[in-house]
Structure 1
Amino acid sequence: MALKITRTSLQISLFFFAFYIAGHYVFGFPFPAPLDLLQILFVAFSGVLLGVAFSRVWPLPPRAGFERIMRVFLLMAPALGLGLALHVWLQGPQAERALYLIFALAAWLGSGYIVRVET
């Protein structure tokens, strides 16, 4: 499980590293400093950990339906709130990166690891 968490965190981080580096050349975003890349890695890892903790409390249902929709809404509210808190704590009020969205996306992707087994 720890290897899956690490792999998912690194994949999310690598995607956003590439996004912000490409965004520098295509859209004129500020080039990400090494500290920005470490912040993205930290936020992605924290988000995946929140998602895994949430899925331990409420495992993913085996079939699609209303329960999955409610589960996503109940995960996203605290994920966005905690993501905003991390965003302000790490980058201050004048932020250049959308760390709160990275955190919420990582939490959503991390919440799918534990699936409830039907009995």
Structure 2
Amino acid sequence: MRIAQEGGFASDEETLDPCTYRLVHMFRTMLNSKIQAGVPFNVAVLELSNTINIRQLTINNLLSEYSPEELSAIDIDLYSDWIILQAGSKIKEADPVSMFTANLLRKMF
């Protein structure tokens, strides 16, 4: 959680807290399946956000580890953006430009 709040990437994802680790790998799996079908990363993120409520899925997972009081101190939108970027950081087809535009597109549509 600390790495996400600071805005950096985790080079060793094993150091992430269990909830963050679970979310990163869940999103990476979903994004990878779309990318393997030929969809660009930023479009895959947009399609995923139109299919599921990323914010609510993030909240539900955080509630398994944190109390509602602790959760109120977390910027869920920033955290879910970071989760998407961290998931993309290990996908070779996700270039920096598509990773940057992915969350912008998600907020616009």
Length-normalised TM-score, structure 2: 0.47
TM-score, scaled to structure 1: 0.45
